[in-house]
Amino acid sequence: MLDFAIFAVTFLLALVAAVLYLYPYFSFGIPTPKEEKNIVNSGSLHEFLVNLHERYGPVVSFWFGRRLVVSLGTVDVLKQHINPNKTSDPFETMLKSLLRYHSGVASVSENHTRKKLYESGVTNSLRSNFALLLKLSEELLDKWLSYPEAQHVPLCQHMLGFAMKSVTQMVLGSTFEDDQEVIHFQKNHGTIWSEIGKGFLDGSLDKSTTRKKQYEDALRQLESILKKIIKERKGGNFSQHIFIDSLVQGNLNDQQILEDSMIFSLASCVITAKLCTWAICFLTTSEEVQRKLYEEIDQVFGKDPITPEKIEQLRYCRQVLCETVRAAKLTPVSARLQDIEGKIDKFIIPRETLVLYALGVVLQDPSTWPSPHKFDPDRFDDESVMKTFSLLGFSGTQECPELRFAYMVTTVLLSVLVRRLHLLSVEGQHIETKYELVTSSKEEAWITVSKRY
């Protein structure tokens, strides 16, 4: 997550063309491929960067259209570049640019205030709506308990539905207690997300009049819904605090509130759905991890109700989620624009160079993560490992608010499900990965469940 900064604007302009090529170049001593290579045909930017760093080392450069790009692919070189004092949320910045929102560039103090506003919004919405989150989790549990043990469960579909219900009600309010409103939101959300995840990146959106109209219509409909909700929350007195209330109560104008609520609701739905999906997928393939998680849940809660206070005691569960983010490479690429001329090892990075953080490469680097392809939550028992994870933006003060929100929602869901169910894999299933803004499976992921009691 880290500092995407102005990356998305550059990303968008550079990738609007259908084909982007690398050109022979060697600049500032940084290794640069001399052969042409079609980035889109690599499958994704992440897969392209994996190949690039394997061949040329931790610091490489190439061309995005006419802009020189530098990519960093190890923790050591990232440590030399990351500025922990940055306060702007890179994921928010990227999505705003892709959505072509233009509410202005915020100052450092404005970004700091905005960050505190987001933190307050996430904390208060989770606290105020904990009973709702528990209720939605238990509804899913009841549904799965009703299935015969051999029945295949479409995990991606169920997690997306659960995330949509949870996020819309906790972020946007009681309008989405109506399932039809959630379905309508999900349809528009899917249209928008698929295009900002791919249509902009391969240039295909601007080539299709039909798709572009569908995208613009979906965005317009969601904006209309959000404007209505903002107006209602401004004029009313509500017992339940939702995320959008923190924005309304902050010193933001209507356009900023609209943009921030759009970004948070779009991103939170996807990040929450994918984190839930991948966590359960990994649990189904690791009997030992699932056993240890069940024992922790049983030790913390026993037969007592699940409460916010006790949720905070689930240390191993948090390790499971951190390892899920790492193993799934949940957000595989981030970036920032070089503010001033800098130096990485022996290489000079000029001002205004676009610098990619190849997080998907870093998260699988065996020099940082022993046995990187093994799902091993115990690695996060080590404080130094957690510090590295925080440096990368997946925990601690650099953690983006959408991921923080997703961590809590997924923790509650796993507590409810694992307490009552064995989560089992489907024999012979191979899950292929699709790398976009957030990593997902290419096809439906199927599981089965059996009752613990």
Closest CA to 412 of 324, 313, 311, 319: 311
Residue 79 corresponds to which tokens in the numbers above? 């440590």
Report strand pairing: 67-72 vs 354-357. parallel
Q: How many CA atoms lie within 13 A of 395 on its CB side?
A: 18
Residue type, 110: E
Closest CA to 267 of 438, 443, 11, 441: 438
Residue 364 corresponds to which tokens in the numbers above? 């699988």
Question: Phi and psi for 347 in degrees, rounded to 5?
Answer: -95, 135
Question: 3-class SS at 330?
Answer: coil
Q: In terms of DSSP H, where are the helices of 236-307?
A: 243-249, 254-284, 287-301
Closest CA to 415 of 268, 267, 280, 240: 280
Closest CA to 95 of 11, 8, 23, 37: 8
Helix (H) or strand (E) holding 132: helix 130-145
Q: How far apart are the C-alpha atoms of 330 and 351, rounded to whole Å?
A: 29
Backbone angle region of 15, left / alpha / beta, with phi > 0 → left and psi within -120 to 50 → alpha: alpha
Question: Phi and psi for 326 in degrees, rounded to 5?
Answer: -70, -50
Known binding residue 281? Answer is no
Report strand pairing: 67-72 vs 440-441. unpaired
The DSSP result for 374-420, as a single string, is: S--GGGGGSHHHHHHHHHTTSSGGG--HHHHHHHHHHHHHHHHHHHH
Binding residue numbers: 400
Binding residue numbers for heme: 400
